[in-house]
A and B are shown apart, each in its own frame.
Chain A
Amino acid sequence: MASAPRPERVPRLLAGCLPLTRPTPTVGLVSMEQEETYLELYLDQCAAQDDLAPPRSPLFNPVAPYGMYILNASNLDTALNSNPEVKEASGDFSSVDLSFLPDEVTQENKDQPVISSRHETEENSESQSPQSRLPSLSEQDIGLGLNSSSLSNSHSQLHPGDTDSVQPSPEKPNSDSLSLASITPMTPMTPVSECCGIVPQLQNIVSTVNLACKLDLKKIALHAKNAEYNPKRFAAVIMRIREPRTTALIFSSGKMVCTGAKSEEQSRLAARKYARVVQKLGFPARFLDFKIQNMVGSCDVRFPIRLEGLVLTHQQFSSYEPELFPGLIYRMVKPRIVLLIFVSGKVVLTGAKERSEIYEAFENIYPILKGFKKA
């Protein structure tokens, strides 16, 4: 999963999104009762999982496996064929930024143990790895983080809407392998959220690169355009370029931080431009170890949220101090993303190294937020 080389090779539209190992699920809306039912079904399916699928341990987190998303590609296919609602949702694909690389999906899909999905709009089915056995989770654990058990909490947190109707019937793998085969060419890996088509938009990308040569910051500040250097305040040159609109912090060690880009490819392009500026000033600059360190996204769920309720039921993950900050700070475990959730329904997601993590985190949080809709 090298992030560095990939963006260079792909056309601009399929911009440098980091390799995606899972498609985003088309998660539907479920009520609490439905979620409980799906959770039960999921648990039943986990117990039967061993018979169906070989382990895919390297990729799977026992609690919330990647396979969940890959499977949803097949779910999507079956769902598309059978469910008009999902078609509407999938229709949103055309308006969504296609930044994922289908190659990865194809590979993953083929290897994927197939678990059937019913023709439901809500997916997020758990194509589980057999390790994720949760037979110990009884029905008491159903619900959104209401229990003290951390495992059940994390489980219910991570699979809020999920639970899909996965049937451990032996016949399904066949249909699914067929659907997988048919789906691999088509899945654009676009995130479809909750059949409402809400897609978090990236607002900021922070990346670092090593220019691999010592730099004379004063010389850079004096000769480069749009540069600031105040060593008493900060030991780096702060340089900006117009296109892509970004800011770079350039250190005397030759390391550089590039911030402000709205996409992975833009961040890389901007970093290259800064490197070229430094190079033109006479330094033997190279472009080593480009890495995206953080990605920030935001979106709007379009309904007000009861933050008090959310912090009560998800206290393990939430912190809400309205006197300190008006947003609830939700620290999701998987993916490891921090979400700022506001009463207005606006959500900020940060801490991602890959675009898919932002989408995945929003997929996870959306059903939870729906459960705390105001009025």
Chain B
Amino acid sequence: MAYQLYRNTTLGNSLQESLDELIQGSLNTYRFCDNVWTFVLNDVEFREVTELIKVDKVKIVACDGKNTGSNTTE
């Protein structure tokens, strides 16, 4: 009986590193629902060869690939 709980926790703990990102990095929040990932990042640098863009807040909405993937940033 107790072991079922363990199995659940392995699932629950499987992405603990995302919290590490929260602490160390700039990931503000994340969400996954209906196979759509939504991330909000703070203090982001977009670096291209020629230019550098700094932004206070970035929202990334991402869906699964396979011909129907789309990425939008705002």
Contacts and interface: CB of A to CB of B under 8 A. Distances in A.
Interface of A: 204, 206, 208, 218, 221-222, 224-230, 234, 236, 238, 240, 242, 245, 247-249, 257, 259-260, 293-294, 351
B5 A294 contact: yes
B8 interface: yes
Interface in B13-66: 13, 15-16, 18-19, 22-23, 29-35
B15 A238 contact: yes
Nearest to A229: B33
B16 to A, nearest CB: 6
A234 B8 CA distance: 9
A230 B32 contact: yes
Contact of B23 (A206, A225, A245): A245
Given A227-B31, A247-B15, A351-B2, 20 more contacts: A206-B9, A222-B33, A225-B29, A226-B31, A227-B32, A229-B32, A240-B16, A242-B22, A242-B23, A245-B23, A247-B16, A249-B8, A257-B5, A257-B9, A259-B12, A259-B13, A260-B16, A293-B2, A294-B5, A294-B9
A249 B5 CA distance: 11
A238 B11 contact: yes
A230 B36 CA distance: 10
Interface of B: 2, 5-6, 8-9, 11-13, 15-16, 18-19, 22-23, 29-35
| A-B residue pairs, 3 tightest by C-beta | A228-B32, A221-B33, A225-B29
- Residues of B contacting A: mostly: helix
A257 B29 contact: no
A221 B32 contact: yes
Most buried by A among B2, B6, B11, B33: B33
Contacts of A222: 31, 33
Contacts of A236: 8
A293 B5 contact: yes
Contacts of A294: 2, 5-6, 9
B31 A259 contact: no
Contacts of A227: 31-33
Contacts of A247: 12-13, 15-16, 19
17 contacts: A208-B5, A221-B33, A226-B22, A227-B33, A228-B31, A238-B15, A242-B19, A242-B22, A242-B23, A247-B16, A247-B19, A248-B12, A257-B5, A257-B9, A260-B16, A293-B5, A351-B2
A247 B20 CA distance: 12
A224 B29 CA distance: 9
Nearest to A242: B22
Contacts of B33: 218, 221-222, 227-229
A196 to B, nearest CB: 31
A86 B20 CA distance: 41
Nearest to A237: B33
A332 B66 CA distance: 51
B64 to A, nearest CB: 11
Contact of B13 (A229, A234, A260): A260
B11 A234 contact: yes
Contacts of B13: 204, 247, 259-260
A295 B15 CA distance: 20
A353 to B, nearest CB: 9
A341 B57 CA distance: 47
Nearest to B35: A230
Contacts of B15: 228, 238, 240, 247
Contacts of A226: 22, 29-31
A143 to B, nearest CB: 33
Residue picked from B11, B12, B23, B29, most chain A C-beta under 10 Å: B12
Contacts of A218: 33-34
B66 to A, nearest CB: 15
